[in-house]
């Protein structure tokens, strides 16, 4: 590499292992020769950071007691009986280590006492030399003990190149699931594959944003030409197959259809155009059955953030193609479980021929839609069922439309406009609407209510049912969100981008002080600057990891899809946007930690609950960068049914070839994770933070391993 990883970064120091791909720091040759001679005579004297290593067997794990599963072992937990002579020799060697440490410490205090005027300068210089010595010893210890004992994980077979744990249709059918439930997420059955998912044979690195939004490689997604041409919905038809590419370019004859369609929705709401959605309080949109993301791609230029959800599909996946375009998406369905979002999450829900039968199961899908919709938010439905000319000729369609219309009114939704096949409802701003539906309502509502069978009117959820941490709970047949402290109409919230900086009163709703958010924001601003200083020289250099292809030239975007595995308040997301990075962030709030997901969503970001002992609901090769701050500490502080290796293997599945992983955590956990990166075949590097010696950064890159074509 022509440039070191740590160029341009202050306050950090870089150390590596045997498979590092960065240039190593310059070391003292004489010092290393002495260490090598000591190593040849005594392999136990390998690391000053663990003087108790000499009491372990030779095959003991490296550094902080890294086990094969990635947990930290007890350094006093065992050992084989030693002979008296052996114990004496080891005691003498340990004594030598103590003497060296005492000598260095005494030398340090003597040196800084020479002159009080130069005290700070001498201390910093001495500390650098001391840290360099320890770093050299660490590296030698890693070379001799660590990686050689860890077996690399094998690659999965070709049939698993689009593998998603928890979504096994054939297994679900065998268990008796049907009526669409066979496509549901079921993580309790079967075990995850302990192998690394390889890309398809002709996989190519996606084109950089914004070019990649309009053009993707056919080989990167599991879709056939026939599926492209037979796509049914409006957004699906906005595709053109061009040799080895799929094009969504604006030159397509269908593009004007989406632009006109979004403009029509804005006018139905009473706005001049879709550019005014922001002024109406709309920032985040849940696009149900999104096609291939064209609706969200168009609205992105209007500062609107659209999350695509769709059922699991073995091929021609809406979610997979949307993510390949660099747009937010995840697998999600209304079949039997609640979506992994808290109540009152989105400003608008959109369904354009999305495949959901809203009139089925006594309207329970509409109840779930109401739960995740903010007060004053909009529900947009485009379907042949809503076309007056169609259902007047078809009594069955007319019956289905009347059910949806009446049920929506029962949910306190106001029908504000209907044009052609599109209907727009607005959710009520007032909780009092729910309690006044049966008493004091307009006559037409009473008649409608009486005409329905008794007991069909959805009740309001109790506090026990209306929980904020909804994580794939069974669908509730009651109206949720009314007990939430975040019941604030979208019109009363600050518009984007001011929405991301919540005021003191708003933060009190989440139990936070404004100072906490200020500190969190400042910390992540510094972190983002350091990340980019570390990564920029590497990303824009000619490194040899991409077989057959050249790197894109600047100023193309470095990353587009970013996964924050422990989002907390969404500070990483905020810092990236403030730094001008054209990215979107999937803010994940672990189910094992504090629930700040409502705060993240109210700031105008997107996010989801997730249990990291289970597979994330997305396809392989989804994200360009994965960020985990404090996640290892959070996960290992509790009784877990998975290991650190399971967690890192899942990250490998989610990460695109040549993608990057940044893990910030306590030093012992970072060393455990670094040892496991050998099994994953990642290029890894540890960065020490000088201002806090108890924490480290682990920066990794996933190499591009190409699958060989079979004859």
In the prediction, which pLDDT does 114 show? 43
Stretch 81-91: mean pLDDT, rounded?
69
Q: Which residues contact 204 (CB under 8 A, 6 or more apart)?
A: 217, 219, 220, 549
> Mean pLDDT, the chain, as a whole number?
78
Helix (H) or strand (E) holding 703: none
In the prediction, which pLDDT does 91 show? 76
In the prediction, which pLDDT does 192 show? 73
Q: Determine the Cα–Cα distance for residues 208 and 216; give it in Å rounded to an integer.
A: 10
Sequence ranges of the chain with CATH classification 3.40.50.150? 252-436, 498-542+553-702
pLDDT 10s digits, 497-515: 999 999 998 999 898 999 9
Lowest model confidence (mean pLDDT) among 385-389, 451-455, 507-511: 451-455
In the prediction, which pLDDT does 242 show? 77
Q: How confident is the model at residue 235 (pLDDT cuts 50, 70, 90)?
A: low
Position 632 pLDDT exceeds 60: yes
DSSP-assigned letter for residue 166: T
**Which is more confident, 504 or 252?**
504
Q: Say which CATH topology domain 252-436 has.
A: Rossmann fold (3.40.50)
pLDDT 10s digits, 290-345: 988 999 999 999 999 999 999 998 888 999 999 999 999 999 988 889 999 999 99
- For the sheet containing 561-564, what is the strand order? 12-16, 683-689, 695-701, 655-666, 623-629, 561-564, 584-590, 606-610
In the prediction, which pLDDT does 124 show? 40
| Cis peptide preceding 497, ω within 30 of 0 | yes
In the prediction, which pLDDT does 233 show? 52
In the prediction, which pLDDT does 533 show? 86
Position 35 pLDDT exceeds 80: no
Q: Say which CATH topology domain 498-542+553-702 has.
A: Rossmann fold (3.40.50)
Q: How confident is the model at residue 426 (pLDDT cuts 50, 70, 90)?
A: very high
3-state helix, strand, coil in the chain (%, to 5): 40, 15, 45
Position 467 pLDDT exceeds 70: yes
Stretch 635-661: mean pLDDT, rounded?
91
pLDDT 10s digits, 142-195: 444 444 456 899 999 998 999 899 887 766 666 666 666 777 888 865 557 889
In the prediction, which pLDDT does 234 show? 52
């Amino acid at each position: 590499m022509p440039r070191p990883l740590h160029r341009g970064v202050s306050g950090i120091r870089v150390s590596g292992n045997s498979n590092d791909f960065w240039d190593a720091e310059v070391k003292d040759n004489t010092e290393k020769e002495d260490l090598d001679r000591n190593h040849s005579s005594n392999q136990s004297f390998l690391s000053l950071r663990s003087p108790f290593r000499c009491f372990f067997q030779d095959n003991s794990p490296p550094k902080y007691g890294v086990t094969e599963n990635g947990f930290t072992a007890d350094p006093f937990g065992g050992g084989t009986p030693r002979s008296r002579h052996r114990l004496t020799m080891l005691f003498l060697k340990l004594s030598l280590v103590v003497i060296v440490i005492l000598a260095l410490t005494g030398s340090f205090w003597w040196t800084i006492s020479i002159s009080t005027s130069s005290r700070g300068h001498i201390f910093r210089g001495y500390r650098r030399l001391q840290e360099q010595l320890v770093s050299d010893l660490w590296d030698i210890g890693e070379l001799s003990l660590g990686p050689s004992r860890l077996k690399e994980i094998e690659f999965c077979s070709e049939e698993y190149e689009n593998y998603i744990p928890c979504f096994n249709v054939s297994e679900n059918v065998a268990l008796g699931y049907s009526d669409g439930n066979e496509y549901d997420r079921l993580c309790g059955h079967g075990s995850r594959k302990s192998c690394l998912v390889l890309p398809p044979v002709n996989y190519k690195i996606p084109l950089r944003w914004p070019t990649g939004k309009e053009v993707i490689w056919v080989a990167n997604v599991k879709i056939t030409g026939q599926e492209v041409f037979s796509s049914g919905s409006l957004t699906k038809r906005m595709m053109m197959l061009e040799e080895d590419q799929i094009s969504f370019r604006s030159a397509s004859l269908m593009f004007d259809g989406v632009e006109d369609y979004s403009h029509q929705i804005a006018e139905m709401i009473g706005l001049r155009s879709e550019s005014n959605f922001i002024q109406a309080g709309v920032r985040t949109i849940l696009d149900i059955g999104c096609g291939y993301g064209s609706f969200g791609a168009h609205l992105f230029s209007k500062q609107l953030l659209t999350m695509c959800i769709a059922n699991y599909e073995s091929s021609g996946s809406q979610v997979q193609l949307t993510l390949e375009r660099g747009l937010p998406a995840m697998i999600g369905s209304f079949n039997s479980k609640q979506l992994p979002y808290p109540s009152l999450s989105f400003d608008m829900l959109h369904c354009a021929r999305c495949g959901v039968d809203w009139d089925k199961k006594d309207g329970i899908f509409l109840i779930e839609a109401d739960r995740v919709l903010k007060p004053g938010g909009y529900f947009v439905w485009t379907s042949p069922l809503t076309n007056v000319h169609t259902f007047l000729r078809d009594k069955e369609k007319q019956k289905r439309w009347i059910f949806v219309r009446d049920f929506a009114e029962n949910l306190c939704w106001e029908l504000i406009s209907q044009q052609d096949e599109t209907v727009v409802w607005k959710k009520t701003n007032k909780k009092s609407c729910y309690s006044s539906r049966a008493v004091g309502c307009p006559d037409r509502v009473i008649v409608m209510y009486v005409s329905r069978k008794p007991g069909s009117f959805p009740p309001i959820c109790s506090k026990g049912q209306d929980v904020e941490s909804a994580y794939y709970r069974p669908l509730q047949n009651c109206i949720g969100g009314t007990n939430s402290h975040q019941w604030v109409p979208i019109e009363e919230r600050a518009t984007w981008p001011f929405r991301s900086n919540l005021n003191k009163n708003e933060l009190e709703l989440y139990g936070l002080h404004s100072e906490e958010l200020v500190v969190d924001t400042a910390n992540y601003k510094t972190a983002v600057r350091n990340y980019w200083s570390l990564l920029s020289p590497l990303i824009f250099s000619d490194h040899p990891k991409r077989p057959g292809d050249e790197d894109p030239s600047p100023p193309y975007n470095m990353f587009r899809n970013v996964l924050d595995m422990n989002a907390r308040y969404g500070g990483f997301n905020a810092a990236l946007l403030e730094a001008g990075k054209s990215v979107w962030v999937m803010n994940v709030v672990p189910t094992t930690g504090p629930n700040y997901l409502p705060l993240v969503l109210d700031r105008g970001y997107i996010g989801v609950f997730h249990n990291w002992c289970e597979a994330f609901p997305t396809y392989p090769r989804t994200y360009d960068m994965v960020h985990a701050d404090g996640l290892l500490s959070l996960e290992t502080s509790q009784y877990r049914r998975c290991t650190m290796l399971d967690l890192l293997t899942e990250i490998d599945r989610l990460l695109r070839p040549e993608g990057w992983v940044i893990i910030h955590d306590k030093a012992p956990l970072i060393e455990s994770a670094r040892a496991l990166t050998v099994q994953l075949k990642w290029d890894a590097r540890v960065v020490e933070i000088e201002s806090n010696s108890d924490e480290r950064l682990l920066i990794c890159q996933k190499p591009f391993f190409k699958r060989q074509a079979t004859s």
